[in-house]
Amino acid sequence: MALLQIAEPGQSPKPHQRRLAVGIDLGTTNSLVAALRSGISEPLPDQNGQVILPSAVRYHADRVEVGQSAKDAAATDPLNTIISVKRLMGRGISDVKHLGEQLPYRFIGGESHMPFIETVQGAKSPVEVSADILKVLRQRAEATLGGDLVGAVITVPAYFDDAQRQATKDAAKLAGLTVLRLLNEPTAAAVAYGLDQNAEGVVAIYDLGGGTFDISILRLTGGVFEVMATGGDSALGGDDFDHAIASWIITEAGLSDDLDPSAQRSLMQTACAAKEALTDTDSVDVVHGAWTGVLTRAAFEALIEPMIARSLKACRRAVRDSGIELDEVEAVVMVGGSTRVPRVRAAVAELFGRQPLTEIDPDQVVAIGAAIQADTLAGNKRDGGELLLLDVIPLSLGLETMGGLMEKVIPRNTTIPVARAQEFTTYKDGQSAMMIHVLQGERELISDCRSLARFDLRGIPAMVAGAAKIRVTFQVDADGLLSVSARELASGVESSIQVKPSYGLTDGEIARMLKDSFQYAGDDKVARVLREQQVDAQRLIEAVEGALQADGERLLDAEERMVIDMQVDELRELMKGTDGAAIEQQTKRLSQVTDAFAARRLDSTVKAALAGRNLNEIEE
Ligand code: ADP
Ligand code: MG
């Protein structure tokens, strides 16, 4: 949705009081942890100086192995070595069945259940496997930084849904980490480059990792980022480049493509090494067993051209989905190890007509951005200000209530995803339907807000005004999709609608609506108070008239009746004007002159209810 800069309250802590917080890129292929040290965000190395931790977990009967050595065992011990677990997070078994070919695990669990993986150490859920990766990163951070962490910002793909985000949070909890926030990966990359400091513009984040490709289009206006579109291909990445080279070796060397697992593994390693070498040289000698060949960069580029073309197609679609033209993209950020491939860079530059940003290591850029945000969230002031970037909703979301007022359910700047519920009630006796009018904006009166959707809740059982309880739930998911549902709690009748609040509003419009809300804040408050008084007055008049109709003849004499009628007329007259105080006063007066009448009505209902029953019955 949007990134918004807000000031973090609190003082800058003294250096020795600095609260330790880290950013974690929990990737499909590789994971990293980064932190701010001496004002610079950098990835933290392990004891051997390695910053990248392959996202591979191998279970032994009595221990857990994580990282490169586990990854190396993927071919020899495939059933106990879990790779690409990120693809399983927050998914049901039926969602991941099609991955069976790529992930040769023994899944257990029913159709609708979380896929558990059977290992020598028992059944492991994807959450537990991810937690094992996170534990290693946490220990590394604590050892490197020398203290307990107050928390971590963990990045997730922009398209992750609530279940996938929740699973990520659960994994963090299991690893003993406090999640300061989940941050979208493209957002983190933009933060790492300090793009939030720019005035405005559209930014594209091109992320080509080991097994996945993501493209995100963000729009920035005055410090506010909006995710305009996301796209990509969940089965496209550097691994495919490796496969292409492996096939080339098989053909060139005249090998059978029916290799045993260990030969397969060494072939893939050879292919991957050749690929990475070609990033820096024009040709490599490829040695596989007794065979030796030469792979030129040009030949490699020809092999991967179709895959690059697929990624560009997804970019064009995402740009089109954003409703903009390619040349409106003002910066392109390269993320993911596979964007090191020179041909990938060139193709992206060609498509967007500009050089992509590559100065920050593409493997590290997401973790670096996450660490910057983690540090700020932990309460440490940054040099040059304490600006903070969040994925937030840009304008408040709410409902129309009586009197044409906007009742905010989710205030602007709330981080997403978010769900909020609020209870409302009926206005009239026996009211059987309710119109739910969903609005966006900061102003008090609905006429100054933007109408997003209307729907009806019908079938509310007959009750007196104010007795029905209608819970209205607003939910904004990670993509900024708003759904609103209304439910009458006693009967369970329900109705809902989906709206896309951010789309269709230009940033200029958002800025104007915000400006108006500040400018008119004073007026709005007066208007709101007046509306509320008018609603109170109207409600009282309706109640009094209903009562007069029912019991006026029976319980009031002519003079009493005349006094009440006069006060009602007086209040009606005042309601036409704008004198809130006068309306309030007259409402009180009408209420006073009808007090005795109300008491008499209550009396007579009680008497009627008690008629025919003796005292003993009543006392019981
Ligand atoms: P993920 O986001 O999926 O965890 P990464 O961003 O870490 O993945 O990217 C991993 C991919 O980057 C692997 O396919 C790896 O081979 C590739 N890669 C890393 N370094 C290079 C390089 N120098 N040249 C080409 N590809 C590289
Ligand atoms: Mg990644």
Q: How confident is the model at residue 76 (pLDDT cuts 50, 70, 90)?
A: confident
Rounded average pLDDT over 420-441 = 86
Full DSSP string of 65-123? EESHHHHHTTTTSTTTEEE-GGGGTT--HHHHGGGTTTS---EES-TTS--EEEETTEE
pLDDT at 357: 97
Q: How confident is the model at residue 346 (pLDDT cuts 50, 70, 90)?
A: very high
Q: How confident is the model at residue 391 (pLDDT cuts 50, 70, 90)?
A: low
CA distance 250 to 238: 19
Residues in the chain: 620
Q: Which domains does the chain have, with CATH numbers?
A: 21-238+302-391 (3.30.420.40), 394-505 (2.60.34.10), 519-609 (1.20.1270.10)
CA distance 273 to 283: 12
Quick one: which atom of ligand 1 is closest to the CA of 211?
3
- CA–centroid distance, residue 527 to ligand 1 (Å): 59
Rounded average pLDDT over 455-483 = 81
Q: How confident is the model at residue 116 (pLDDT cuts 50, 70, 90)?
A: confident
Nearby residues of 123 by Cβ (< 8 Å), 6 or more positions away: 108, 116, 117
pLDDT at 227: 79
Main-chain phi, psi angles of 457, to 5 degrees: -105, 115
Q: Which residues sit with their C-beta closer than 6 Å to ligand 1?
A: 27-30, 209-212, 237-239, 272, 275-276, 279, 336-338, 340-341, 363
| Strand 291-296 with 179-184, pairing | unpaired
Full DSSP string of 353-412? TSPPB-SS-TTTHHHHHHHHHHHHHTTPPBTTB-EEEEEE-SS-EEEEETTTEEEEEE-T
More confident position, 323 or 608: 323
pLDDT at 21: 92
CA distance 227 to 57: 33
CA distance 195 to 383: 16
pLDDT at 401: 87
Rounded average pLDDT over 278-304 = 96
| Closest residue to atom 13 of ligand 1, CA basis | 210
CA distance 124 to 196: 40
pLDDT at 615: 39
Q: What is the mean pLDDT of the chain?
A: 84
What are the distances in angstroms from CA 292 to CA 14, 253, 258? 60, 8, 20
More confident position, 371 or 145: 371
- For residue 538, pLDDT beyond 90: no
- For residue 449, pLDDT beyond 90: no
The pair of structure tokens assigned to 11 is 């003082």
- CA–centroid distance, residue 33 to ligand 2 (Å): 12
| Closest residue to atom 24 of ligand 1, CA basis | 276
pLDDT at 520: 72
pLDDT at 15: 39
- CA–centroid distance, residue 93 to ligand 1 (Å): 28
Which of 29, 84, 281, 334 is the pocket-test mutation for ligand 1 (most atoms within 8 Å of CB)? 29
More confident position, 87 or 101: 87
- For residue 618, pLDDT beyond 50: no
- Which one of the listed residues 65, 132, 207, 444 is annotated catalytic? 207
Q: In this structure, which ligand is nearest to the CA of 209?
A: 1
Eight-class DSSP state of 468: -
Q: In this structure, which ligand is nearest to the CA of 242?
A: 1
- For residue 384, pLDDT beyond 50: no
pLDDT at 40: 85
- Which one of the listed residues 71, 86, 124, 275 is annotated catalytic? 86
Q: What percent of the chain has a predicted confidence (pLDDT) above 90?
A: 39
Taking the model in full, what pTM does it have? 0.62
Tokens 């849904």 correspond to 161
> What is the dihedral sign for C-alpha 257, 261, 262, 267?
positive
Alpha helices in 39-161 (DSSP H): 68-72, 93-96, 126-145
Backbone dihedral region for residue 50 (phi beyond 0: left; psi -120 to 50: alpha; all else: beta) = beta
Q: How many helices (H) and strands (E) does the chain have?
A: 15, 28
- CA–centroid distance, residue 374 to ligand 1 (Å): 25
Quick one: which atom of ligand 1 is closest to the CA of 280?
23
3-class DSSP assignment, residue 480: coil
Tokens 């030969």 correspond to 263
| Closest residue to atom 25 of ligand 1, CA basis | 276
Nearest CA-CA partner of 171 in 287, 65, 24: 24
Query: At 575, which amino acid appears?
Result: M
Q: Which helix (H) or strand (E) holds 151?
A: strand 151-156
3-class DSSP assignment, residue 472: strand
Among 204-208, 240-244, 581-585, name the one with the lowest average pLDDT.
Answer: 581-585
Alpha helices in 52-125 (DSSP H): 68-72, 93-96
pLDDT at 359: 96
pLDDT at 568: 92
| Closest residue to atom 16 of ligand 1, CA basis | 238
Quick one: which atom of ligand 1 is closest to the CA of 55?
4
Confirm whether 207 is a catalytic residue. yes
Rounded average pLDDT over 94-115 = 67
Q: How confident is the model at residue 112 (pLDDT cuts 50, 70, 90)?
A: low
- For residue 230, pLDDT beyond 70: yes
- CA–centroid distance, residue 238 to ligand 1 (Å): 6
CA distance 155 to 404: 41
The pair of structure tokens assigned to 286 is 């490829």
220-234, 286-300, 420-434: range with highest mean pLDDT: 286-300
Residue 396 near residue 410, CB atoms below 8 Å: yes
Instruction: Give the CA radius of gyration of the chain.
Output: 32
More confident position, 543 or 574: 574
pLDDT at 111: 57
Q: How confident is the model at residue 389 (pLDDT cuts 50, 70, 90)?
A: very low
Which of 212, 276, 360, 368 is the pocket-test mutation for ligand 1 (most atoms within 8 Å of CB)? 276
64-68, 154-158, 426-430: range with highest mean pLDDT: 64-68
Query: At 244, which amino acid appears?
Result: A
- CA–centroid distance, residue 30 to ligand 2 (Å): 7
- For residue 610, pLDDT beyond 60: no
Confirm whether 25 is a catalytic residue. yes
CA distance 162 to 581: 48
Quick one: which atom of ligand 1 is closest to the CA of 275?
25
Among 118-127, 403-412, 506-515, name the one with the lowest average pLDDT.
Answer: 506-515
Q: How confident is the model at residue 500 (pLDDT cuts 50, 70, 90)?
A: low
Rounded average pLDDT over 285-308 = 96
